[in-house]
Amino acid sequence: MAFRCCYASMGQHKNVCILCNFIAEYSHIESLDDTVGALCFCGGNMKVLIRKECLHYWQKENKKISNFQLYFQIWFRQVLLKKFEIPYLEMFITTKCNLHCKHCSNLIPTLNNRQNYEISTLIEWLDELLSKIDCLYRLKIHGGEVFLHPRLAEFVAYVKNQPKIKSIRLTTNGTITPADNMLQLIARSKIVVQISDYRLPNITTQQLIDKFKKFGVRYIYLKDQTWKDFGGITLRDGNRFDDCNMKRCSSFYESKIYVCSRAAMMTKSGYIPDDGISVYLPKKQLRQQLKKMYGGKLSIACNYCDGDTKYAKDISAGEQE
């Protein structure tokens, strides 16, 4: 869609017209699809592409509102009000898991010491981050297997009441049915449970789904999913950040933010230098570092991983060792 500012005919600079600037930007992002190339943070105008990514999550929570209206809300806050907003973050609350997946993208089976993190510590880390940003469109509570954490309900009760967090996902491998009080806490809220489909023997996923329906828990069942084999942790012939879908999956692990969860675990296990962003940095510096990460400048791990790219072959999800 061609665009010409209404002020151009009067010889004035097009930036004078705020509304025209918005319409031009919206016309541009509407022409992009949701492929990794279109959402690439490293190309084009990074700020525009981050707003497009925010829209990706915000529209899932507001399906009755037009994309035009939703994007205007985002654009108004980020451009006119100068708000600093993050599209997505997945936060590890545990590295314990009851499965042993051969191709775990999070490298959980390689960890020597797995643990449930203290809820007070998790809240401290998240509070620190939220004090320095204005909005998080999607928080994914991550593991390991999250339902193994004995105090998960406390953390869920905290995050669901944070106004800066717009939507929440809980990920599970579908092997554990939570207690009724946990389901009551999740039900009819901004929380959606994401259930993996590993097609393993004796998995009670249908029982879990039936329980969710009974309590009114929103869920997504990733039926017939496939995984990618990210390969071994060896130096590649180039950095895979530009091509990788996982760069959309920023990870919050032990008070630092990484380009993805695999990068966090590669760092934890000592495979690569630590380029994580500490949430204890001063606000201005934290924001600058996050912009660098979105631009691919904090992606050491991407030199040692095939990621979700053309270099990685499709494999069966959840294959056990």
Considering 64, 80, 96, which residue would you say is the last residue of a domain?
80
Domain hosting 37: range is 8-80
Chain centre distance of CA 176: 23
Name the token pair of 310: 């053309």
Q: Which residues pair with 89 in a beta bridge?
A: 139
- Averaged pLDDT of the chain: 90
Q: Are residue 301 and residue 283 in the same domain, yes or no?
A: yes
CA dihedral 59, 213, 168, 71 (to 10 degrees): 10
Q: Could you read off the pLDDT of 278-319 as tens digits, one per residue?
A: 999 999 999 999 999 998 999 999 999 999 999 999 999 999
pLDDT of residue 221: 95
Residue 43 has pLDDT above 70, yes or no: no
- Do 157 and 124 sit in the same domain of this protein? yes
Coil, helix or strand at residue 56 = helix
Cβ contact 120:281 at 8 Å = no
Q: Tell me whether residue 97 is in a domain.
A: yes
Measured in degrees and rounded to the nearest 5, phi and psi for residue 133 equal -130, 170
Same domain assignment for residues 283 and 160: yes
Does the pLDDT of residue 5 top 70, yes or no?
A: no
Task: Between 35 and 161, name the one with better pLDDT.
Answer: 161
pLDDT, average across residues 250-266: 97
pLDDT of res. 32: 58
How far is the C-alpha of 109 from the C-alpha of 234, rounded, in Å? 18
Q: Please give the C-alpha separations between residue 93 and each of 34, 97, 139, 207, 254, in angstroms, as whole numbers.
A: 29, 12, 12, 25, 9
Q: Tell me: do 42 and 172 sit in the same domain.
A: no
Q: Are residues 131 and 117 in the same domain?
A: yes
Quote the pLDDT of residue 9.
45
Exposed/middle/buried for 19, CB within 10 Å: 0-12, 13-18, 19+?
exposed
Residue 33 pLDDT: 53
Are 297 and 85 in contact by the 8 Å Cβ rule? The answer is: no
Answer yes or no: is 139 within a domain: yes
Contact yes or no for 20/6 (Cβ under 8 A): yes
Q: Tell me, what's the pLDDT at 24? A: 81
User: Is 239 a member of any domain?
Assistant: yes
pLDDT (tens digit per residue) in 165-205: 999 999 999 999 999 999 999 999 999 999 999 888 877 88
Query: Within this chain, do residues 194 and 236 fall inside the same structural domain, yes or no?
Result: yes
What whole-number distance in Å separates Cα of residue 33 and Cα of residue 73? 20
Nearest-10 Cα torsion for 48, 50, 53, 54: -100
Decide if 203 is inside a domain: yes
Residues 237, 175 share a domain: yes
CATH number, residue 117: 3.20.20.70
The stretch 213-225 carries a mean pLDDT of 95
For residues 46 and 185, the model is more confident at 185
**Is 44's pLDDT higher than 70?**
no
Classify residue 105: in a domain, yes or no. yes
Tell me the one-letter amino acid at 292.
Answer: K
pLDDT at site 10? 42
Spacing of C-alpha 201 from chain mean position: 30
Asked whether residue 240 falls in the same domain as residue 276, the answer is yes
Residues 208 and 292 in one domain: yes
Stated pTM of the model? 0.90
For residue 281, the SS3 value is coil
Same domain, 262 and 249: yes
Tell me whether residue 321 is in a domain: no
3 band by pLDDT with thresholds 50, 70 and 90 = very low
Check the CA dihedral 102-106-112-114 and report its sign. Answer: negative
Total domains present in the chain: 2
Q: Of 40, 62, 80, which residue constitutes the final position of a domain?
A: 80
Supply angle C-alpha 203, 206, 212, rounded to 5. 120
Interacting residues of 306 by C-beta distance below 8 A, sequence separation 6+: 228, 229, 230, 231, 236, 240, 312
User: Looking at the domain assignment, is residue 247 inside a domain?
Assistant: yes
CA distance 311 to 256: 28
Does 120 fall in a domain? yes
pLDDT in tens, 120-145: 999 999 999 999 999 999 999 999 99
Same domain (yes/no): 104, 174 = yes
Same domain, 152 and 298: yes
Quick check: 304 and 266 in contact, CB under 8 A?
A: yes
Task: State residue 22's pLDDT score.
Answer: 86
Which residue type, as a one-letter code, is found at position 154? E
In this structure, of 44-53, 83-92, 269-278, the range with the lowest mean pLDDT score is 44-53
Q: Which of 3-17, 56-70, 179-193 has the lowest mean pLDDT?
A: 3-17
